[in-house]
């Protein structure tokens, strides 16, 4: 069977990329929820007290900051490796 048709279809590739991005985002939200819940939630109740609410806000902000930092670092690493490998082949 010929696999070129599957890999050559730009609409299919775009759809797969979008769905993959959605999945990564959902995983990130799930992980963030789990981490922040364990860190901030002492005892579930009908309302969040101000200390718990502040903890959740700070936890989410730190999680997002950390995730963004890691993504930026990986991107920089990939770029430097790409540049390095390009200079090696010249």
Q: At what angle do helices 50-89 and 10-40 cross, to 10 degrees?
A: 140
The whole-number pLDDT of residue 85 equals 47
Q: What is the mean pLDDT of residues 61-85?
A: 83
pTM: 0.61
Q: What is the 8-class DSSP label of residue 46?
A: S
What SS3 class is residue 8? helix
Domain boundaries, the chain: 9-86
Does the structure show a pLDDT above 70 at 63?
Answer: yes
Whether residue 43 is predicted with pLDDT greater than 90 in this model: the reply is no
Calculate what percentage of the chain has a pLDDT beyond 70: 82
For the cut 90, the answer to whether the pLDDT of residue 90 exceeds it is no
Round to whole Å and give the CA distance between 16 and 40: 36
CATH number of 9-86: 1.10.287.810
């Amino acid at each position: 069977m010929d696999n070129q048709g599957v890999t050559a279809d730009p609409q299919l590739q775009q759809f797969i990329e979008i769905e993959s991005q959605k999945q990564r985002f959902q995983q990130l939200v799930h992980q963030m929820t789990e981490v922040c819940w364990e860190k901030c939630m002492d005892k579930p109740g009908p309302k969040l007290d101000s200390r718990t609410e502040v903890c959740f806000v700070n936890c989410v902000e730190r999680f997002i900051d950390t995730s963004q930092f890691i993504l930026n670092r990986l991107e920089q690493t990939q770029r430097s490796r790409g540049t390095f490998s390009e200079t090696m082949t010249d």
